[in-house]
Structure 1
Amino acid sequence: MKNDLFNIKWDDNSVRQISPLTVAFVGDAVYETFVRVYLVDKHRNMHVHNLHVEAVKFVKAHSQSEIIKKLETKLSEEELYFFKRGRNAKSGTVPKNADVQEYRFATGFETLVGFLYLTGRWDRLNLLFKSVTDLRERGEF
């Protein structure tokens, strides 16, 4: 393992060897961090509880499912591959506040984010996050 954890970059084949749920595990953390930084930047003086309430609107399975459904047609063939791997993975559990289809689409979204992050596709990841904030600001989730 490299000492510089911020510069680890995997190639596509290496990421393909990882379980899609493990890639989603990374994507979940990356997406949550993005949302928190975005909200703090936008609402610098907001109380932490209110920041949390706003963050939940972005990260809940229903929202992630709606986001990926709106962006699915804009994905490259490779991105679609990773989204579908995550969507089709069987996790064995479903959160109490989401139905199975929403949860699977959300897992696919997180897998896509994890893939983009692990392979160092920063421009594509930024474009995806920009699309998410645009959708939110238009009230589409």
Structure 2
Amino acid sequence: MEESIIKSDSHIEGISKDNLTYDIWKSLGLKEVSPRQLSPLVLAYIGDSIFDLVVKTMIVTKGNTQVNKMNRMASSIVKAESQSKMIGYIEDKLSEEEEGVYKRGRNAKSYTSAKNASISDYRRATGFEALMGYLYMSGRYERMCELIKDALDYLESEKSDK
């Protein structure tokens, strides 16, 4: 039987102990979890949060402004339609492993429905979030941020072309 949760005194191979994810696990006395053993929807769940955090961090560092304005800016980026466009742009840049994670997330049977997005955009966004969750849980922040930056640069250029 394969165990999905590994005790905190053992370390998951391939995950650096020098990262935020590990610090959270250790500081709170949590068990380490291998991202390879998490379902695509669980990866999307954490990926949604980490992507939101990265976007909000970028917005906050641009300077003080009204919080509702910052929230509108963040919402326009983290919505399914934008995430679908972003994954469409970066998909060719993904490694085989990353593409597999994205496709598992995209194809996962979700029990929630798209609120303000097409089913296609929603599924692609779920795949994008699963990939972000996987990279975060793997401690691969540099790669995660590289992909996010490329995708956001693309969104910005698309917006300025209109």
Normalising by the smaller structure, the TM-score range is: 0.7 to 0.9
Q: Report whether the alignment pairs 1:111 with 2:130.
A: yes
Letter in 1 for 2:96: E
Shift of 1:6: 6.2
Normalising by structure 2, we get a TM-score of 0.77
1:34 is matched with which residue? Answer: 54
Shift of 1:4: 3.3
Shift of 1:24: 0.6
Shift of 1:130: 1.4
Specify the structure having the higher radius of gyration (Cα): 2
Distance 1:26 1:81, change over 3 A: same
Higher relative contact order (CA 8 A, sep 6+): 1
Give 5+ residue unaligned stretches, structure 1.
none
Shift of 1:18: 1.1
Q: Report whether the alignment pairs 1:66 with 2:75.
A: no
53, 76, 95: which is aligned to 1:57? 76
Q: Report whether the alignment pairs 1:46 with 2:65.
A: yes
4+ residue stretches of structure 1 with deviation over 6 A?
none
For 1:138, what is the secondary structure of its paired residue?
A: helix
Number of aligned pairs?
138
Richer in helix (by share) = 1
Letter in 2 for 1:26: I
Show CA shifts across 1:99-132 (max 9, x none): 1111000000000000101111122112112113
Shift of 1:137: 2.5
Distance 1:131 1:6, change over 3 A: farther
Letter in 1 for 2:75: V
For 1:139, what is the secondary structure of its paired residue?
A: helix
123, 134, 143: which is aligned to 1:124? 143
Aligned partners of 1:33, 1:82: CA distance in 2, in Å?
21
Compute the RMSD of aligned alpha carbons: 2.3
Shift of 1:138: 1.1
Aligned partners of 1:28, 1:103: CA distance in 2, in Å?
12
2:14 is matched with which residue? Answer: none
Shift of 1:47: 0.4
Letter in 2 for 1:37: T
